[in-house]
Amino acid sequence: MIKDRIGLIVYVNALKASRQLRRFGNVYFTSKRERYVFLYVDLERHEQIVERITELPFVESVIRSERPFISETYANKKGKIQEEV
């Protein structure tokens, strides 16, 4: 069974210490220039994980992806524009 997941962008002071983030979820991308790590965590436990990650000494900030909370269903069919009167 596939679990729902959410992406987290974690800005860090040192990339060497960012290897510790592997225990919280799947590390998808690491940027050396911008010094951030993008990782996926379980949607059910993401609030607890964000709290634990922010307590780490090498973490500057954590940004949560908003994609799971955005509606992907649209009222109109593709190609048709509703006119406002």
pLDDT tens figures, 35-49: 999 999 999 999 999
7-46 core/surface letters (b: 16 or more CB in 10 A; e: else): bbbbbbeeeeebeebeebbeeeebeeeeebbbbbbeeeeb
Spatial separation of the C-alpha atoms in residues 72 and 9, rounded to whole Å: 22
Q: Are 7 and 25 in contact (CB under 8 A)?
A: no
CATH 3.40.50.300 fits 5-69, yes or no: no
| Residues of the chain above pLDDT 90, percent | 62
Q: 18: closest CA among 6, 34, 2?
A: 34
Q: Stretch 70-85: mean pLDDT, rounded?
A: 64
Interval 8-65: pLDDT, tens: 999 999 999 888 999 999 999 999 999 999 999 999 999 999 999 999 999 999 999 8
pTM of the complete model: 0.77
| Cross-strand bridge partners of residue 5 | 42
